Amino acid sequence: MTVDLGMPANPEPVLAERRKTRQLQVGPVGVGSDHPISVQTMTTTNTTDINGTLQQIAELTASGCDIVRVACPSADDAEALPIIAQKSQIPVIADIHFQPKYVFAAIRAGCAGVRVNPGNIRKFDDQVKEISKAAKDTGTPIRIGVNAGSLDPRMMEKYGKAVPEALAESALWEAGLFAEHDFHDVKISVKHNDPVVMVRAYEILAERCDYPLHLGVTEAGPAFQGTVKSAVAFGALLRQGIGDTIRVSLSAPPVEEIKVGTQILQSLNLRPRKLEIVSCPSCGRAQVDVYKLADEVTAGLEGMEVPLRVAVMGCVVNGPGEAREADLGVASGNGKGQIFVKGEVIKTVPESQIVETLIEEAGRLAEGMEQDSGDSPTVTVS
């Protein structure tokens, strides 16, 4: 069974056609060019804390996460996998470093996929035959996850450091071993903390293979820096149609990673847009505190699931134009706000009532959209 991630076909224009890849299934989620680009993250709980991990997975599911990865550094973690895999609402991938025996444990546990890091699993190449057999018997896909920080020593010797060619060659070598054993349900990642190196490594992979690619800038940094690095790197690749599933790595809670990943895809029309706030940067002409207004409107509309474009503008220079273009908008000035709905001024309210009026009108528009589409998106207006 294939899950469409709840996303209707997106009619909006995109920058590039997806690169054609093989297809694979991570549980019910299809990964590859025939499927929407999925967003994933990793739990931060101890995997042995089954309830805590399931609780975090539930929160991630609610925030739009499609696939979740859990660490499996010990036998106790491996023991926790069957129940986590069984009870999670979204497919669970076990993340394996160092110990090949946990690859088999994860497959037996019913995980929807396994990530291996060939650079730090001792004698990994000798185990590929057995892993291929176990994975094939259960229909479990394998991600070959090469990381700059744990690159195969042979590549380090050959290239001196984790240059793009080294990352790509390491991953392709391992994928080649799996192919020799007639196992092809492989996706690949080649992560580096430098977006320039990372982008080039993925470009090389895209030229040389048709495996689905999992994009990630590893150790991208705290939220601000990591968001910028991931957005520019993913943008450069998605612009070429490269990328089938993404993980934004931030030194921040995993829910934030999902929000950023989802927003990157929405910005490029690779996922239908939901709420979009168009707000001006403010300037010397502003007649209202635009930052505060934009923050309050954003907070008030948080959780809105319908594709609504809301313009929050600080004065009458660009205000009416942008507000008219949006589904809903305000152009502020002289202590008042002109409220626009679908291009028409419907009322003018005092500045103190702008936020509540926008929230009220957004609720009305969302209700209309729900009725038109026949489905029942959730609107939370606080």
Chain residues that interact with ligand SF4, rule: CB under 6 A: 280-283, 285-286, 313-315, 317-319
> Any known ligand binding at 283?
yes
Nearest to 221 by CA among 182, 185, 257: 257
Give alpha helix (H) positions in the chain: 50-62, 75-87, 101-108, 124-138, 153-159, 164-180, 195-208, 223-238, 254-267, 290-300, 319-325, 354-373
Nearest residue (CB) to ligand SF4, 210 versus 276: 276
Nearest to 134 by CA among 117, 164, 114: 114
In the complex, least distance from residue 151 CB atom to ligand SF4, rounded to whole angstroms: 47
In the complex, least distance from residue 321 CB atom to ligand SF4, rounded to whole angstroms: 9
Nearest to 323 by CA among 285, 364, 362, 279: 279
- Per the rule left: phi > 0, alpha: psi between -120 and 50, beta: everything else, 95 is beta
In the complex, least distance from residue 288 CB atom to ligand SF4, rounded to whole angstroms: 8
Nearest residue (CB) to ligand SF4, 285 versus 347: 285
50-84 burial: b if 16+ Cβ within 10 Å, else e: beebbebbeebeebbbbbbbbbbbeeebbebbbeb
Nearest residue (CB) to ligand SF4, 190 versus 315: 315
The tokens describing 115, both together, are 């990530």
Residue type, 346: I
In the complex, least distance from residue 278 CB atom to ligand SF4, rounded to whole angstroms: 11
Nearest residue (CB) to ligand SF4, 24 versus 286: 286
Nearest residue (CB) to ligand SF4, 165 versus 289: 289
DSSP state of 217: B
> Any known ligand binding at 111?
no
Torsion angle (degrees, nearest 10) of CA 67, 73, 79, 85: 0
In the complex, least distance from residue 362 CB atom to ligand SF4, rounded to whole angstroms: 20
In the complex, least distance from residue 361 CB atom to ligand SF4, rounded to whole angstroms: 20
Nearest residue (CB) to ligand SF4, 11 versus 281: 281
Which amino acids are annotated as binding site for [4Fe-4S] cluster, given as ranges? 280, 283, 315, 322
Which amino acids are annotated as binding site, given as ranges? 280, 283, 315, 322
